[in-house]
Amino acid sequence: MIAYFLLVHRYPEQFKRLFKAIYDPRNHYLVHIDKSSGAELDADIRAFVAGYRNAAVLKGKRALWGGYSLVDAELRGMAELLCMDVNWEYFINLSGQDFPLKSQRQIMRFLSGSRGKEFIKAEDQYLTRPDTMSRVRKYVIETNNRIFRTILSRPFLKGVTPYIGNQWMIVSRRFCHFVVHAPQVARYKAFYKNTFIADEGFFQTVMMNTVEHGTVINDDMREIDWVPDGNIKLRPRTFQHEDAAMLIASPALFARKFDETVDAAIFAALECHLRTADAVESEPPRRMAKVPVDGLVAA
């Protein structure tokens, strides 16, 4: 059983297609609607989610890119999902502009064979991304829907190695419970609250410097095409219909990102692929025909 946490701030119809594509009555779904998205979008999505007994909406707050508010949303989402059900095994976070590349049966089968593993991009920040160390060393203030990056520097957490990756993960219930409730995580939360783009390092740093988790697989199981984008350096390219064959062939479970205002045809192609994959997964195994062997008939 999977606990899905979905972050939404625009494109309600695209979100609905995503939700239907990942829906399974055995799973649980929690949606966070960015408070800055407006009352109309909020009401639309709440009405849609209300039609599913295993889905709920988390109290919405403003989640600002680059701010700790995104980490806060994830932690609140984990805490709520832990209370919603005691049986789910994996937490998967998605944005409203993601889409699955595998059916739920395929994803469940993959995760059933991956118990004891955590899927998250995590690299030693000192060694692989030293250019980003200013994100955690420079004191940052998030207030009034703005982020202020000050010139004040501070040392990193004593005895801790900083790690970096991205926001997306497939992690165990064990880790979720630890990162939400463990007293020893409090100092990580306090420190990262005043860092820039905390959502790309907080969970990685907690996981890689503690022991309450499974084997870490340096892969978030997402298909993302990172392209240059000015000072941000990289951003995920928006997939379009011509990318369908590549996405369908990908071993990843999910892809990002998609934009219905850029190309809506890609959704139909992926939905058709998922229906076919689901039908194949649900077919009963075929009985093998008996084959003669050296004049005998195999039993």
Residue ranges per domain, the chain? 2-275
CA dihedral of 198, 199, 200, 206, whole degrees rounded to 10: 80
Query: Is residue 287 very low, low, confident or very high in pLDDT (cuts 50, 70, 90)?
Result: very low
Q: Can you state the angle between helices 39-49 and 12-22, rounded to 10 degrees?
A: 20
CA atoms within 13 A on the CB side of 215: 5
Average pLDDT over residues 77-91: 96
CB atoms near residue 120 (< 10 Å): 25
- The predicted pLDDT at position 290 comes to 44
- Convert the pLDDT of each residue in 163-173 to its tens digit: 999 999 999 99
Order of all β-strands in the sheet with 2-8: 55-58, 28-33, 2-8, 90-95, 169-172, 117-120, 215-217
pLDDT of residue 286: 52
CATH architecture for segment(s) 2-275? Alpha-Beta Complex (3.90)
The model's confidence at residue 296, banded by pLDDT at 50, 70 and 90, is very low
| Chain segment 263-274, per-residue pLDDT in tens | 999 999 999 999
pLDDT recorded at residue 278: 80
- Mean pLDDT across 38-51: 96
Examine the pLDDT at 294 and tell me if it is beyond 50. no
pTM (whole model) above 0.85: yes
Percent of the chain past pLDDT 90, that is, above it, reads: 83
CB 34 within 8 A of CB 67: no
Predicted pLDDT of residue 233 = 75
Number of Cβ within a 10 Å radius of residue 89:
15
As a whole number, mean pLDDT of residues 13-20 equals 98
Instruction: Give 221-277 pLDDT, tens digit per residue.
Output: 999 999 988 776 789 999 999 999 999 999 999 999 999 999 999 999 999 999 998
Express each pLDDT in 129-146 by its tens digit: 999 999 999 999 998 788
User: What pLDDT score does 289 carry?
Assistant: 42
For 109-132, write each residue's pLDDT tens digit. Answer: 999 999 999 999 999 999 999 999
Instruction: Write out the two tokens for 274.
Output: 């998922």
Q: Is the pLDDT of residue 7 over 50?
A: yes
pLDDT above 60 for 291: no
E strands of the chain, at which residues? 2-8, 28-33, 55-58, 90-95, 98-100, 117-120, 123-124, 138-143, 146-153, 163-164, 169-172, 215-217, 222-223, 226-228, 234-236, 254-256, 292-293, 296-297
Q: Could you tell me the pLDDT band of residue 158, with boundaries at 50, 70 and 90?
A: very high
Lowest mean pLDDT, pick from 103-107, 130-134, 274-278, 290-294: 290-294
Q: Which of 94, 90, 107 is closest to 2 using CA atoms?
A: 90
16-41: average pLDDT: 95
The CA R_g of the chain, rounded to the nearest whole Å, is: 21
Is residue 253 within a helix (H) or strand (E), and if so which, with residue range? none
Residue 179 pLDDT exceeds 60 = yes
Confidence label for 299 from pLDDT (cuts 50, 70 and 90): very low
Looking at residue 60, its pLDDT comes to 82
pLDDT on residue 75? 98
Question: For residue 264, what is the DSSP state?
Answer: S
Of the chain, the percentage scoring pLDDT greater than 70 comes to: 93
